[in-house]
Amino acid sequence: MDWRRLGFIAMIILALIAVVVLVGGSEVDPAVIVVSMLATTIAVATPLTLGALSGIYCERAGVVNIGIEGMMLASAFFGWFGAVYVNTILEMAPLPSLLVGVFAAVLTGGLLGLLHAVLSVTYKVDQIIGGTVINILAIGVSGFLNRQLFFEKGSIFGGQVPHAPGVLPRFGVPFLSDIPVVGRIFEQQPIAVSAVLLVALTHFILFNTRWGLRTRAVGEHPRAADTVGINVYFMRYANVIIGGMIAGLGGAYFTLESVPSFEPLMTNGRGSSPWRR
């Protein structure tokens, strides 16, 4: 870990917090300002965090994935459609409908991850081209189906936008949310909490487990990994699919946790992973 870079980032964050406190500290308690900023940052950073984690799983296994944006966009649509369908047509309660939507989004991301793995690992397609194909496919399919299913007469919803089941409810993390003042930081929605937990879990898996060691070996020295009996194809397939599922969870954030609706291109670049080897 580059401690100098980490220290520089920490200084920038502290400086931004100090500026905000100086501006609004005369009207609002500074502690409330800081806690509110941190709580909002965790929530808003959720899709960026999940997109980065998706890229980590893929690229640590030796597969470049620039299709994360498309995976998140398609997952946002199919998660939204799944939740609306079971809520409106099957008349399921809002919360179970939202959970069905999350499952549909994660499944969509996993399937697109499988597609990327087939193109990149099995057929040796240029990985940048494969990711671009997924992005274009997601934009076209989600936009087309959004018009056909929700706005065209004769569709399953009769050309009318159905009633939304809402968004996933906010909850307090046990014990942590009861801490005075700072407990507000730990009152989040499920996908935001999952993103934070996945950061810690991913670090542990990659650097403290056999799976992580094999993943890194496959990504850095695939021939050497193959000579000691590691199935390079399997490890790459598995990690790309896992990355796709995490991207799918990020897609669910947009339509099931942030706003209860779908808009074409609503991911708006937040699926572009900032992580590179």
Give the tens place of pLDDT for each residue, 40-99: 999 999 999 999 999 999 999 999 999 999 999 999 999 999 999 999 888 899 999 999
Separation between Cα atoms, residue 242 and residue 237, nearest integer Å = 9
What is the distance in angstroms between the CA of the first residue and the CA of the last residue of the chain?
13
Q: Is residue 208 part of a domain?
A: yes
Res 163 pLDDT > 80: no
Res 254 pLDDT > 80: yes
Separation between Cα atoms, residue 275 and residue 277, nearest integer Å = 7
Q: Is residue 22 part of a domain?
A: no
Query: What integer best gives the mean pLDDT of the chain?
Result: 90
Separation between Cα atoms, residue 183 and residue 12, nearest integer Å = 24
Displacement of CA 195 from its chain's centroid (Å): 7
Task: Report how many domains make up the chain.
Answer: 1
Q: Is residue 173 part of a domain?
A: yes
Res 150 pLDDT > 50: yes
Query: What pLDDT score was predicted for residue 176?
Result: 87
Res 28 pLDDT > 80: no
Query: What pLDDT score was predicted for residue 23?
Result: 79
Res 228 pLDDT > 90: yes
What is the CA angle 166-171-172, rounded to 5?
Answer: 165
Q: How confident is the model at residue 161 (pLDDT cuts 50, 70, 90)?
A: low
Q: Is residue 56 part of a domain?
A: no
Query: What pLDDT score was predicted for residue 3?
Result: 80
β-pairing, 171-172 vs 187-188, is: antiparallel
Residue-range definition of the domain harbouring residue 220: 65-258
Separation between Cα atoms, residue 6 and residue 12, nearest integer Å = 10
Query: What pLDDT score was predicted for residue 276?
Result: 39
- Contact 232/73 with Cβ under 8 angstroms? no
Q: Is residue 71 part of a domain?
A: yes
Query: What pLDDT score was predicted for residue 275?
Result: 39
Residue 188: closest CA among 218, 202, 167: 167
Q: Identify the weakest region by mean pLDDT among 105-119, 139-153, 260-274.
A: 260-274
pTM, to two decimals:
0.92
Q: Is residue 204 part of a domain?
A: yes
Sign of the Cα torsion 175, 179, 182, 187 reads positive
Q: Is residue 52 part of a domain?
A: no
Q: Is residue 264 part of a domain?
A: no
> Count of H helices and E strands in the chain?
10, 2
- Contact 71/141 with Cβ under 8 angstroms? no
